[in-house]
Structure 1
Amino acid sequence: MILIDKPYVSDFLIETIKKNNFKIVATSEATKIILDKSLNWISEKEAIHLIKNNPTTPIYSNSENIISWVEQNLEFSKLPNQIQLFKNKITFRELVQDIFPKYFFKGVKFEDLDSISIDNLPFPFIIKPAIGFFSLGVHKVDKPQEWKEVLVKIKQEITQIKGFYPSEVLNTTNFIIEECIEGEEYAIDCYFNNKGEPIVLNILHHIFSSGKDVSDRIYTTSKEIIENNIDKIEKFLQIIGEKASLINFPVHVEVRIAKKGEIIPIEVNPLRFGGWCTTGDLSWYAYGINSYEYFLKGKKPQWEEILETRKDKKYSIILLDNNSGIDKNNISHFNYEQVLKDFENPLSLRKVNFNEYPIFGILFVETSLGNEQELDKILTSKLKKYIVLK
């Protein structure tokens, strides 16, 4: 069963629903977004009845905007509690505290940020909304002298980002302060099957331009990234799945892997893969894996066979976020054609209304090994070369 909501559903996901005749719930938002009446639409009443009769029915959503629907309509099931267990970063930290007893975290109300004592905080640390999305409101604080400046930025950003997403997706009432983990950051799309086993559908390296960078500009996957990390990630996911009793449950997980191989969780995003149909679609472009189909049909990738044909390529998602410093009201348009020219093999480009969301678009690219310079350039770019002013 599939739940659809704003902000975005890809043509690939819609085609997957149609090809497989997957049940899709006819909520008011879903029927506004998808106009194809030939899909296997079911009423909200029928969807609720389906979960009552079979509580482990696989459910996938393209968006965390559906959390409120689940909470209102499926309150009799385990789903609302499981969602909140992960969506609230403070609750999630409490869940895994016994596995990582030395890991520092602290929940703070927004109104208490000005008065918090920083004397006992472990520098460097990360501060972010306890319920967040897309690195909005996330900051790294390296030393005490930066704290006042970061507070000013947080307050400015809260004013700017209010209204982008519902409170179930992005809520700036509470923040979490947690120690900064040294190591490389990875994102994982996976699901827990009907036996509770984790099935990995993709592993992506979240690349940063500097130690201060907390943006979502580039996520990259490759044969090497999958092979080097899948075994230890599967073992880690097994622990998370058992703690939360996950069955037929899709997640998008973000972790850091230290140099010695220790995996520290950053967050687990429930009922979906990467937001805006990003990482789920990339699995198809990169590996021929239809993640939505694999989850809903309980399939497992044959990684050894798949990776044998992907030896010389990297596949990336590039978030064209507005980090230019230019106010959206002064922008006429974004030069998408020029962006495409700067990559050897663009796979797909999604244009986004930058007046509605703080991004210009999302780009999927294939890069030959040895040509990573095209990724390096866009990683550090302020995108000003593509912005046309009024």
Structure 2
Amino acid sequence: MILLGKPYVSDFLVKTIRENKFPVIATKHAREMVQEENLNWISEEDAVAQIMKNKESVIYSNSENNIQWLQENASGSLLPGQIALFKNKIRFRELIRTSFPDYFFIGVKYADLRDIDPENLKFPFIIKPSVGFSSIAVHKVDNSLEWHQVLDDIEIEIEDAQDMFPKEVIELTEFIIEEFIDGEEYAVDCYFDKEGEPVILNILHHIFSSAKDVSDRVYYTSPEIIEKHKDKVQDFLQMVGRKALLKNFPAHLELRITKEGRINPIEVNPLRFGGFCTTGDLSFYAYGINSYEYFFNSKKPDWDKIFLTRRGKQFNLIALDNNSGIKVKEIESFDYEALLKNFEKPLDLRKINYKVYPLFGMLFTETVVGKNEEIDRILHSNLKEYIEVKGELVNATDS
């Protein structure tokens, strides 16, 4: 069964559901997001009955906004507990503590953050909501001089985010402070099959514009990335799956890999692939892998065969987050056509309502491995060159 909800449902996902006749739970939010009768809609009552009858029901959710429905209606299964385990970063760290005994982390109530003496903390560290989404209220702190400014920034971000997502997605009353992990950051889409065996569907390199950048602007995947890391990622997933008793369970992971090849987890996002239908859809554009079909049909990628026609190619996911500093109420429009002209091979553009969510859209592109000029440019751009402010066009010289 599939749970659909805000903030975004891609045409690709809807097409996949329609062609495979995957059952979709007819929640209020699903009906609002997809107004198409020609789907295999099932009532909430029938869905709950199926879950109660089969404790290992196969469920995919496109959005963490659906967590509340699962917590209220899947109480007879392991799902509510597993979701809570992964959504709370403190509980997740406690789950894997024995595998990472030297890793430093503490949980702190938001109300108590300003009472902390930063001199007692281990720098550098990352501070973020214990229950969070995307890079909202996530900061790297390099020294004690930055501490109070970071707290001021978090306060502003909390005000902006409170009405954007439900508390099951972002809970801003508790934060985790954890050591900064050296190494490159990666995202992984996977699922655990009915036997609990993990199946990797994609591995993407998450790159940043600077040491202080914590945004989600650019991820990219290639055969070389997957070949280099899939075996050790597979081993890590098996450890997590055993500890959390995962079966018939899709997930999106963020992790860091050191130069020595050691994996350090950042977070596990339950029952979904990348948010806003990103990484799950990109796998099809990149490798011909329909992640949703692979999950529901327990298919495994034949990487050797897939890579035969993908050598030398890189597939990029670009999140057009509004880092311009321009307030939404001042923006007249965003020039998507001008944006596309700066990319040699755009694959798909998904426009997002930037008046509701803090990004203009998602862009998939293809480039040649090693030819990174256009990716470097968008990674460092503040997007002002594409923004028309009410009454004037923004001067983009400082982008």
TM-score bucket of the superposed structures, by smaller chain: over 0.9
Deviation at 1:363?
0.6
Pairs within 5 Å for 1:363-374: 363-374=363-374
Aligned equivalents of 1:300 and 1:126: distance in 2?
A: 35
> What amino acid sits opposite 1:96 in the alignment?
I
Question: How big is the alpha-carbon RMSD for the aligned residues of Structure 1 and Structure 2?
Answer: 0.7
Aligned equivalents of 2:154 and 2:38: distance in 1?
A: 46
Deviations along 1:202-232, one digit per CA (max 9) or x if unpaired, are 0000011111010000010001111100000
Task: Name stretches of at least 5 consecutive residues in structure 1 with no aligned partner.
Answer: none
Aligned equivalents of 1:83 and 1:118: distance in 2?
A: 32
Deviation at 1:54?
1.3
Counterpart residue number, 1:184: 184
Counterpart residue number, 2:394: none
Q: What is the SS of the residue equivalent to 2:97?
A: coil
Contact preservation (8 Å) 2:320, 2:362: yes
Counterpart residue number, 2:254: 254
Q: Does 1:288 align with 2:288?
A: yes
Counterpart residue number, 2:135: 135
Contact preservation (8 Å) 2:4, 2:62: yes
> What amino acid sits opposite 1:211 in the alignment?
A
Counterpart residue number, 1:267: 267
> What amino acid sits opposite 2:168 in the alignment?
E
Aligned equivalents of 2:119 and 2:100: distance in 1?
A: 23
Pairs within 5 Å for 1:230-249: 230-249=230-249
Counterpart residue number, 1:29: 29
Pairs within 5 Å for 1:37-76: 37-76=37-76
Deviation at 1:369?
2.4
Counterpart residue number, 1:11: 11
Deviation at 1:249?
0.2
Deviations along 1:279-302, one digit per CA (max 9) or x if unpaired, are 000000000000000001100000
Contact preservation (8 Å) 2:350, 2:361: yes
Aligned equivalents of 2:72 and 2:370: distance in 1?
A: 51
Deviations along 1:283-332, one digit per CA (max 9) or x if unpaired, are 00000000000001100000111012101111011000110111111111
Q: What is the SS of the residue equivalent to 1:325?
A: coil
Contact preservation (8 Å) 2:56, 2:77: no
Aligned equivalents of 1:267 and 1:154: distance in 2?
A: 20
Counterpart residue number, 2:158: 158
Pairs within 5 Å for 1:289-368: 289-368=289-368
Deviation at 1:133?
0.6
Counterpart residue number, 2:92: 92
Deviations along 1:326-368, one digit per CA (max 9) or x if unpaired, are 1111111111001100000001111111111110111110112
Counterpart residue number, 1:77: 77
Counterpart residue number, 1:117: 117
Deviations along 1:27-84, one digit per CA (max 9) or x if unpaired, are 1111111111121111111111111111112100100011000011111211100000
Aligned equivalents of 1:240 and 1:370: distance in 2?
A: 33
Aligned equivalents of 1:229 and 1:370: distance in 2?
A: 19
> What amino acid sits opposite 1:254 in the alignment?
E
Task: Name stretches of at least 5 consecutive residues in structure 2 with no aligned partner.
Answer: 391-399
Q: What is the SS of the residue equivalent to 1:160?
A: helix
Aligned equivalents of 1:46 and 1:329: distance in 2?
A: 43
Aligned equivalents of 1:32 and 1:320: distance in 2?
A: 25
Deviation at 1:193?
0.3
Aligned equivalents of 1:52 and 1:133: distance in 2?
A: 29
Deviation at 1:389?
0.9
4+ residue stretches of structure 1 with deviation over 4 A?
Answer: none
> What amino acid sits opposite 2:254 in the alignment?
E
Deviations along 1:92-112, one digit per CA (max 9) or x if unpaired, are 000011110100001011100
Aligned equivalents of 2:8 and 2:354: distance in 1?
A: 14
Contact preservation (8 Å) 2:55, 2:76: no
Deviation at 1:119?
2.2
Aligned equivalents of 1:138 and 1:206: distance in 2?
A: 15
Deviations along 1:146-196, one digit per CA (max 9) or x if unpaired, are 001111101111111111110000111100000000000000000000110
Aligned equivalents of 1:383 and 1:225: distance in 2?
A: 28
Q: What is the SS of the residue equivalent to 1:13?
A: helix
Q: What is the SS of the residue equivalent to 2:99?
A: coil
Counterpart residue number, 2:380: 380
Aligned equivalents of 2:228 and 2:76: distance in 1?
A: 41
Q: What is the SS of the residue equivalent to 1:98?
A: helix
Equivalent pairs counted in the alignment come to 390
Counterpart residue number, 1:206: 206
Q: What is the SS of the residue equivalent to 2:51?
A: helix
Aligned equivalents of 2:284 and 2:28: distance in 1?
A: 29
Query: TM-score, normalising length from structure 2?
Result: 0.97
Deviations along 1:235-281, one digit per CA (max 9) or x if unpaired, are 00000000000000000001000111110100000000000000000
Counterpart residue number, 1:2: 2
Contact preservation (8 Å) 2:51, 2:76: no
**123-132 or 349-358, which deviates more:** 349-358
> What amino acid sits opposite 1:259 in the alignment?
K
**167-176 or 31-40, which deviates more:** 31-40
Aligned equivalents of 1:37 and 1:354: distance in 2?
A: 28
Deviation at 1:121?
1.2
Query: TM-score, normalising length from structure 1?
Result: 0.99
**28-37 or 200-209, which deviates more:** 28-37
